[in-house]
Amino acid sequence: MKKKKNRNRFLEKRERFVSEQSGREDANRANECHADKHVEDEHVANAAPDERSIDVFMIEAEGDVIKNEPAGDYVVLTDDKAVCETTARSARGKMSDMRSNGNSKRKRKPKVGKNAKPMRSHSDAKETKGADLESYGKLVKAFFENAAGRLHSWLRGMDFFTKMTWIMVVFSALVVILFFVSTCTAMAERKPKGSERSAGENLINVSVMKMHQGPFHMDLVLNADLKSLNGSVAIASPVSGTLIRNFVRLGDKVKAGDELGIVDASDIGLNYNAAPVVAKSDGTITSIGASVNQKVALGSALYVIEPEPDFVLTASVSESDADALRLGANAYFTTAGDRTKRHAAVLTYIAPFVNASTRTVDIELAVDKSADNVFGLRAGSFVELTIVKSEIENVFVVPKDAIRTFAGESVVYLVGSDGIARRSSVTTGLSTQSQVVIESGLSEGDAVVIQGSPQDGDKVHVL
């Protein structure tokens, strides 16, 4: 009985000892787990992305990965090693994230053994790439240093004149290149006319004329002769003698009664007898026939006066044109010497009969005597005369080419703000060879097509 009691006591002590040993092992194992987790977290935080993925997502145990689900507080591995459940859950969570992001391909199982090659980390790849870049940089630096040395040696062998010549050549080449580039850029940026059109639109190019009311002249154009009613006036010496005084020069303006010079008619031994030379009309001195102290004869021309111009135009017109003319009609003419300057004239005469030989009617026009109007005119010139047969105020006038015929009516095409041409019927009035009066059918500001051939409803592009 005593032996049995002692044996039971021994078994209890042994069981207590075993349980204490088991508790110590559990505590040590837990501490190791937490320590391993701390070290592993630091390694993961400091590792490169590729290494972190390997260390976190693959817990290596002699080359194998996590296979079993957690049992209690631990995850059982193939080599009976254990890690804490927190690390296992973190690994499983990150692997799940990788699968959800499309990285469902499992990482290859690393080789284990003597011939196994160590895995190349991301940091190793960076170091290798950096070394390659450094070597490339050294090669480039050496190339440029060599080129600079050769250039320096080449320049040292030149004289000053040759160096300056090369500098000018290089500078000129740079200027030409810059000019070419700027010209090409400007041409590329310049938009061609009509480039604003929408793609795919088939637009018709047209020119338009904005309508504004104004006067309309119905003109008669013909050729005419320019004549002067007042011819040149010669001033003769009143006596024989010597021209002792001259008071004028060429180009001077004089009036009738002005004294031009003095002729001494006295002979030797006789009394002094001075005879003045007087202008007979207004005009301009165009000639002086004798110089001072020169002998002159009675009646010889001492001066020539060109009177103030009194030009007239003479022309012939047909019977029909003569019937359309009226006295006092305004006119203008241009000379062959200056087609840009218009000289004013007024219709003063219409013959009451028809010339039997030419079957025309003679007319005559008086030229405005103002100095600016007659400046540059020469009697006998052949001029182009335009007579205003009729004049109408406040009407719309369009070119003849803008008028078209549609279904027996005169029409024009108007361009609206939407860029569409629309046909509009009009009533025409007086016309010339190039213009037509529009009596009705147009309004102020209408845009009438004067060039181009659109149809009603066509989309147009106004040039």
**pLDDT by residue (tens digit) across 264-292?**
887 655 556 788 899 988 888 888 988 88
Helix 85-100 to helix 2-46 angle, to the nearest 10 degrees? 40
Domain 311-392 in CATH 2.40.30.170? The answer is yes
**pLDDT by residue (tens digit) across 41-94?**
444 445 444 444 434 334 433 344 444 444 333 344 444 444 444 444 444 454
Structure tokens at 213: 């009311």
Residue 91 corresponds to which amino acid?
A
Give the integer Cα–Cα distance in Å for 440 and 426: 6
Which of the 8 DSSP states describes residue 368? P
> What is the reported pLDDT for 52?
40
Contacts of 67 (CB under 8 A, 6+ apart): 77, 78
**pLDDT by residue (tens digit) across 303-325?**
998 887 788 999 999 988 888 88
Cβ-contact 394, 214 below 8 angstroms: yes
Q: Among the residues of 325-457, which ranges form H helices?
A: 371-374
Pick the residue with more confidence: 189 or 123?
189
Pick the residue with more confidence: 12 or 446?
446
> What is the reported pLDDT for 129?
59
> What is the reported pLDDT for 449?
92
Where do the structural domains in the chain lie, given as residue ranges? 23-119, 204-215+394-462, 233-305, 311-392
Domain 204-215+394-462 in CATH 2.40.420.20? The answer is yes
Share of the chain above pLDDT 90, in %: 14
Pick the residue with more confidence: 423 or 378?
423
> What is the reported pLDDT for 20?
63
User: What is the CATH number assigned to the segment(s) 233-305?
Assistant: 2.40.50.100
Strand-pairing partners, residue 243, are: 263, 294
SS3 (DSSP) at 191: coil
Structure tokens at 221: 């154009």
Contacts of 85 (CB under 8 A, 6+ apart): 70, 73, 74, 75
The sign of the CA dihedral 142, 148, 151, 157 is negative
Cβ-contact 75, 61 below 8 angstroms: no
Which helix (H) or strand (E) is 436 found in, with range? strand 435-440
Q: Do domains 204-215+394-462 and 311-392 have the same CATH topology?
A: no
**pLDDT by residue (tens digit) across 326-346?**
888 889 999 888 888 889 999
